[in-house]
Structure 1
């Protein structure tokens, strides 16, 4: 382990872990779609990922194990980020769906909750909401 790695903050480690998860999802269907690449660049900035870490993570995201946040709100936010990457190219591939379930469990959700959250999020992101849910979401923050 490098000297600098020894003193890396927990937040930095979690951010790199989260970014690596996003990269893994983007790469899961083969080439990274240009819209996914744009989203990754935005996440790079948001998560304060250095250029060198960005290149290293793109090269091999598997070197960065999932380090989930302890806070339930932050876990939901991370799950939301995963769906933003997957749907950046407007397509959900089978491999991406499998990885979403895997990552939801890695974030700390049990299998039943992970399956529910992924299934429900797919409905929301793909626009296949029923009218009642659509109304609810439209009026939720009024």
Structure 2
């Protein structure tokens, strides 16, 4: 561990961890152009420097998953993972397996992780039943 990394803020470390997770997920099935575009957006959102970006892309597994502190952040991070996976409008089996592992790493128990991943796949694939569609349409009314 470098001397400068001792003084890194918790938020910066979590952002790098999250970005590394996103990169690893994109790389597991071969990074497509659509995924690169989404990753570049997350680079800006998470305030990842060019130097850190290069290091993370080179070896995303060097950054352990550092789960967020709140349930709202966990849901946001899970949503971010799905944005990367579905950037190319297709989910590979390796991505599916990794999503379940990451959901557990974010702090969900196995049963909740399984449910959230499977439900998110339905939502991102557009396979909603009428009741769910109505609920999502009227959610913020």
Same fold per TM (> 0.5)? yes
- Give the Å deviation of 1:135: 1.1
- Give the Å deviation of 1:70: 1.3
**1:15 and 2:15 correspond:** yes
- Give the Å deviation of 1:80: 0.3
Partner Cα separation in structure 2 for residue 25 and residue 95 of structure 1: 9
Partner Cα separation in structure 1 for residue 130 and residue 92 of structure 2: 26
Match of 2:4 in 1: 4
- Give the Å deviation of 1:93: 0.6
Residues paired across the two proteins, number: 141
**1:34 and 2:44 correspond:** no
Alignment of 1:1-142 (within 5 A): 1-30=1-30, 32-142=31-141
Alignment RMSD: 0.5
Partner Cα separation in structure 2 for residue 101 and residue 44 of structure 1: 23
Partner Cα separation in structure 1 for residue 49 and residue 41 of structure 2: 12
* TM-score of the pair, normalised by structure 2: 0.99
Structure 1 segments, 4+ long, off by >4 Å, are none
Partner Cα separation in structure 2 for residue 70 and residue 48 of structure 1: 19
Q: Give 5+ residue unaligned stretches, structure 1.
A: none
* TM-score of the pair, normalised by structure 1: 0.98
